[in-house]
Amino acid sequence: VRRAARRSYDVADLAMGAADVLRSNDIGTMVTAAPALYPHMWSWDAAFISIGLAHLGVERAGQEIRTLLAAQWADGMIPHIVYGDRGGYFPGPGRWGTAELSASAPQAPLTSGICQPPVHAIAVGRILDVARRGTDADRAAGEQLVRDSWAALYRWHAWLAQYRDPDGTGLIAVVHGWESGMDNSPRWDGPYSAVIPGPDLPSYVRLDRELVRDGAERPTDLEYDRYLWLIEEMRRASYDPVKVYETCSFLVADVFVSAIFAVASDVLADLGDEFGAPAEHVADLRRWAARSRAAVAASRSPETGLARDYDRRAGAWIDVETLAGFAPLICGGLDADAERALIETLHGPHWAGHPDLVAKVPPTVSPDSVGFKSREYWRGPQWPVVSWLFGWAHARHGHTAQAEALRAETLSLVGDGAFSEYYEPVTGEALGSRRQSWTAAVILDWCT
């Protein structure tokens, strides 16, 4: 394979380009996740997007969070898709049928019936930081956003603790690969092999195939059958979270979601202390954070030191090495030596520092791993948004040099100005959707 040259970039140009992507994907109260491929609001995208928006206007950033929270289910779940008025994405709201079937789902806006990683409190905290560097009006808008969103975010975290970790293990379970945000990661191959689509799976037509020409960049049809079958199972459980947990054929304790839950609970608890939230709710958040942080640390493989998911249906640890194994670096909680070792592995020659990579950005699967597929979605490509999350966590935990390295390397990767969803690590080729909103958002945050 021909090794691509490292790209040079101009920070001001990148910031301008990123702002343009966010503005052009803005349809009023929501910035769609991508112009053609994802013409609606995705939950964790909206959080990252709102961070980018904060640099264009704190009010507009707050609006994005408010739009998402307006779709929160009565039981506290924040749904993974909030549908706008346009069609153009499969599965659409009709396939989910949440408004008809679930007692908790809103009638409007229409939503999917699952969730995504709880990065929202991180976003609100970051918006507040940006707001406090701005004018008095920015500061006031940022503080108002915290006051308006805190209780809803607390209910969201309580929902995860209650329904996705009913036994109080600290590991938060997902009932669909989509809930992890890393849809077709090799982490899920084992659990998905036990998801057997029934003969009564209603037929369907994928729309993504027409929009991303190279089919290898997207999940396969067999994977889609399984994704859609899980929706059928959840429909049959009327999206009741207790029934879904009991009956869904995919149930995995997700170590990356758990780490995000822990650190987002810390952030939310700190905001709660500052803004006078009920003391018992702040105490809940601190307890959940400590419990999840400990569980993430305890999940590490004795051989590799990487954190692992746990397949609750099979009753087994999932020993597949992916970027999610670095989850302890998101939430902290390792002793100093173990943390240093994990940082060195992440930035070392098997991962971000792999000699074949055009930019030292962590790939989703190590190029040295047999499962590495350089173009295939969550099976190898580099995702700028995930790099930002590690950079944010590095900075939070005092690893300033590594945070700065991730910033510089990711900026060089996206120096092409395509703001792609993901990148081929060896050639630096832009893959998936172009002008992807969360890519633009994190670049804008890094450039401002």
Positions in the binding site for ligand 9YW (CB under 6 A)? 33, 38, 42, 44-45, 181, 183, 208
Tracing tokens 């950033």 back to the chain, one arrives at 61
- Contacts of residue 283, Cβ cutoff 8 Å, sequence gap at least 6: none
Q: Compute the least distance from the CB of residue 326 to ligand 9YW, in Å.
A: 17
In this structure, are residues 411 and 443 in contact, taking their beta carbons and an 8 Å threshold? yes
| Closer residue to ligand 9YW in complex, CB, 265/436 | 436
Q: Compute the least distance from the CB of residue 183 to ligand 9YW, in Å.
A: 4
Q: What angle is formed at CA 415 by the lines to CA 411 and CA 417, rounded to 5 degrees? A: 120
| Closer residue to ligand 9YW in complex, CB, 33/51 | 33
| Closer residue to ligand 9YW in complex, CB, 45/409 | 45
Q: How big is the chain by its Cα radius of gyration, in Å?
A: 20
Catalytic option among 20, 143, 183, 240: 183
| Closer residue to ligand 9YW in complex, CB, 31/33 | 33
Six token digits for residue 70: 């307006």
- Side-chain-side CA neighbours of residue 268 (13 Å): 31
DSSP-derived 3-state class of residue 10: coil
Active site (annotated) includes residue 179: no
Q: Compute the least distance from the CB of residue 34 to ligand 9YW, in Å.
A: 6
Nearest to 99 by CA among 69, 117, 76, 79: 79
Q: Compute the least distance from the CB of residue 224 to ligand 9YW, in Å.
A: 9
Q: Compute the least distance from the CB of residue 80 to ligand 9YW, in Å.
A: 7
Strands (E) located in 204-280: 252-254
- Side-chain-side CA neighbours of residue 152 (13 Å): 21
Q: How distant, in Å, are the alpha carbons of 89, 156, 246, 292, 404 from that of 332?
A: 37, 22, 31, 10, 18
| Closer residue to ligand 9YW in complex, CB, 120/399 | 120
In eight-state DSSP terms, residue 417 is: S
| Closer residue to ligand 9YW in complex, CB, 37/405 | 37
- Contacts of residue 328, Cβ cutoff 8 Å, sequence gap at least 6: 259, 296, 297, 300, 307, 334, 338, 339, 342
Active site (annotated) includes residue 183: yes
Q: Compute the least distance from the CB of residue 15 to ligand 9YW, in Å.
A: 21
Catalytic option among 284, 421, 424, 445: 421
| Residues with active-site annotation | 183, 421
